[in-house]
């Protein structure tokens, strides 16, 4: 059966990096017979310019019909003065909530070829391979009531609500345990159960769900300690499971362990495993149009798509090996360049990965 992929290039470097990922998809189709059909739609600033909204109805329609979604990035200075409801980022948030993409998977992998690109000592980060699961549609970013008001002393005050229902915790906990089963069978749940009742419930429910996965070793850590341990000894973790806000912060911290934001893919999944796949970085307005953006995070997002939504580990592995082979040959985009390697642009990196992928057939 043909897999339908909705492709949303977005803004800034989005179209540049998506063009390279599409070459990889073409190669999978031509060389390995993977039946794929792609259709593109507008999102973010590009959609606002063309239609007056960052999240057109046709885009939602296409993404609902598709088996999977590949997104570039949204946003940029051009749209920063717009009112919140039509900012490019609303397109992304709209997609996440309309499609109920409640779990965000962010691997942080340090490729041996890039150990020198990390700001952390090589012995601490070499071989790093962790997966952070962040809850994406609940918690303090969405809880009501929220807002700003003047209190009885006449002072301004701001308030938000941290709230999770049992079922919201349970569904992401199941995903966490299942992903741990496919990896090294260790799940660490991050909370602040000593201070926040909501995360006390988080811990309680994760323990209950854990009883269904006796093969996975479950541990718990307070978020402040988790931040410290991520920098001190990140390799102690396999899968980390956490809420929306803690996950937001910890996953950026973990990303930096690996040196460049241009290397890291992500997936946001619904309860049936349908997902939106995108690089973790933004639209990089400072390098847009210069042909220097690193396409690897986007290409690795495709490999995550094959692995987590399309159940095609063989071709997911092929893409990852092709990326490693391009790095092995010494090619580097500017963000991962170090002395003794060869600096190349977006297209050359994409072409090198496609050529390695093609060669892997022989
Ligand atoms: P950014 O991730 O776009 O850029 C941060 C830095 O990393 C920049 O110096 C950029 O040049 C560099 N960089 C990013 N991706 C790169 C790549 N593939 N190759 C080489 N270098 C890369 O973050 P920002 O500058 O804070 O945000 C720019 C815009 O992107 C803003 O409008 C922001 O709202 C938006 N944004 C979108 C997403 C998304 O679409 N998921 C995520 C984050 C930020």
DSSP track, 263-290: G-EEEEE-TTS-EEEEESS---GGGTTT
| 97 and 116 assigned to the same domain | no
Instruction: Determine contact, residues 128/143, Cβ cutoff 8 Å.
Output: no
**284 CA distance to ligand 1 middle (Å):** 4
Domain boundary among 214, 240, 259: 259
- Per-residue pLDDT tens, the chain, 362 aa: give them: 899 999 999 999 999 999 999 999 999 999 999 999 999 999 999 999 999 999 999 999 999 999 999 999 999 999 999 998 899 999 998 999 899 999 999 999 998 888 887 888 999 999 999 999 999 999 998 899 999 999 999 999 999 999 999 999 999 999 999 999 989 999 999 999 999 999 999 999 999 999 999 999 999 999 999 999 999 999 999 999 999 999 999 998 888 888 788 999 999 999 898 999 999 999 999 999 999 999 999 999 999 999 989 999 999 999 999 999 999 999 999 999 888 999 999 999 999 999 999 999 87
CA distances from 101 to 43, 121, 180, 243 (A): 17, 35, 19, 14
| 127 and 218 assigned to the same domain | yes
Tell me if residue 192 is catalytic: yes
3-state secondary structure of 300: helix
Tell me if residue 361 is catalytic: no
Domain boundary among 238, 259, 280: 259
Alpha helix segments (H runs only) across 77-214: 88-98, 122-125, 166-182, 197-210
Instruction: Determine contact, residues 70/6, Cβ cutoff 8 Å.
Output: yes
| 245 and 136 assigned to the same domain | yes
The answer for residues whose C-beta is within 8 angstroms of residue 64's C-beta and 6 or more apart is 98, 99
| Ligand 1, atom 10, residue with closest C-alpha | 284
Among 276, 278, 283, 344, residue to substitute to test ligand 1 (most atoms within 8 Å of Cβ): 283
| 306 and 236 assigned to the same domain | no
Among 19, 259, 282, residue to substitute to test ligand 1 (most atoms within 8 Å of Cβ): 282
| 25 and 91 assigned to the same domain | yes
Tell me if residue 224 is catalytic: yes
CA distances from 175 to 216, 242, 243, 272 (A): 12, 12, 13, 10
The answer for residues whose C-beta is within 8 angstroms of residue 55's C-beta and 6 or more apart is 43, 47, 90, 91, 94, 95
In a domain, 51, yes or no: yes
**25 CA distance to ligand 1 middle (Å):** 24
Of 97, 133, 107, the C-alpha closest to 247 is 133
| 290 and 250 assigned to the same domain | no
In a domain, 344, yes or no: yes
In a domain, 233, yes or no: yes
Q: What angle do CA 139, 241, 97 make, to 5 degrees?
A: 40
| CA 43, 47, 53, 59 torsion-angle sign | negative
In a domain, 264, yes or no: no
Distance between CA 330 and CA 338 in Å, rounded?
10
- Could you say which of 192, 213, 274, 312 is catalytic? 192
In a domain, 265, yes or no: no
| Ligand 1, atom 11, residue with closest C-alpha | 284
How many contiguous H segments (helices) and E segments (strands) does the chain have? 12, 14
3-state secondary structure of 181: helix
| Ligand 1, atom 4, residue with closest C-alpha | 284
Query: Rg for the chain (alpha carbons), in Å?
Result: 21
pTM: 0.90
In a domain, 179, yes or no: yes
For residue 227, the model assigns a pLDDT of 97
| 81 and 189 assigned to the same domain | no
**199 CA distance to ligand 1 middle (Å):** 31
For residue 97, the model assigns a pLDDT of 87
Residues with CB under 6 A from ligand 1: 13, 17, 73-76, 89, 92, 261-262, 278, 281-287, 293-294, 297, 335
| 4 and 138 assigned to the same domain | no
Tell me if residue 11 is catalytic: no
**260 CA distance to ligand 1 middle (Å):** 11
Q: Which atom of ligand 1 is nearest to the CA of 287?
A: 11
Q: Structural domain of residue 186, as residue ranges? A: 110-259
| 90 and 128 assigned to the same domain | no
**54 CA distance to ligand 1 middle (Å):** 18
CATH number of 131's domain: 3.40.718.10
Q: How many domains does the chain have?
A: 2
| 174 and 241 assigned to the same domain | yes
Tell me if residue 49 is catalytic: no
| 80 and 118 assigned to the same domain | no
Domain boundary among 230, 259, 288: 259
Among 74, 87, 281, residue to substitute to test ligand 1 (most atoms within 8 Å of Cβ): 281
Q: Which atom of ligand 1 is nearest to the CA of 294?
A: 19
| 203 and 248 assigned to the same domain | yes
């Amino acid at each position: 059966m043909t897999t339908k992929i909705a492709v949303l290039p977005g803004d800034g470097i989005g179209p540049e990096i998506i063009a390279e990922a599409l070459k990889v998809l073409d190669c999978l189709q031509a060389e390995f017979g993977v039946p794929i059909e792609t259709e593109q739609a507008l999102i973010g600033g590009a959609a606002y310019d063309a239609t007056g909204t960052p999240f057109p109805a046709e885009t939602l329609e296409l993404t609902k019909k598709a088996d999977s979604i590949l997104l570039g990035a949204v946003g940029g200075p051009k749209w920063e003065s717009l009112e919140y409801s039509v900012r490019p980022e609303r397109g992304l948030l709209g997609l996440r909530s309309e499609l109920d993409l409640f779990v965000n998977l962010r691997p942080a992998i340090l490729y041996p070829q890039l150990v020198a690109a990390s700001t952390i000592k090589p012995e601490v980060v070499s071989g790093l391979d962790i997966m952070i699961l962040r809850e994406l549609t609940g918690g303090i970013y969405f809880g009501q009531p929220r807002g700003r008001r003047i209190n009885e002393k006449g002072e301004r005050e701001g308030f938000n609500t941290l709230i999770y229902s049992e079922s919201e915790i349970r569904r992401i906990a199941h995903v966490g345990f299942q992903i741990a089963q496919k990896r090294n069978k260790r799940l660490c749940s991050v909370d602040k159960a000593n201070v926040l009742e909501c995360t006390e419930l988080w811990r309680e429910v994760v323990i209950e769900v854990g009883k269904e996965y006796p093969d996975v070793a479950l541990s718990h850590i307070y978020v402040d300690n988790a931040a410290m341990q991520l920098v001190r000894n990140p390799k102690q973790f396999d899968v980390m499971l956490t809420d929306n806000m803690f996950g937001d912060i910890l996953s950026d911290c973990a990303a930096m362990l690996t040196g460049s934001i241009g290397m890291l893919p992500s997936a946001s999944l619904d309860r049936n495993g349908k997902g939106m796949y995108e690089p973790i970085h933004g639209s990089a307005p400072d390098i847009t149009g210069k042909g220097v953006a690193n396409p690897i995070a986007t290409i690795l997002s495709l490999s995550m798509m094959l692995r987590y939504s399309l159940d095609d580990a063989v071709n997911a592995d092929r893409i990852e090996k092709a990326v490693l082979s391009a790095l092995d040959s010494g090619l580097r985009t500017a963000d991962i360049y170090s002395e003794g390697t060869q600096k190349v642009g977006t297209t050359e990196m994409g072409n090198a990965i496609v050529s390695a992928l093609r060669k892997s057939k022989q």
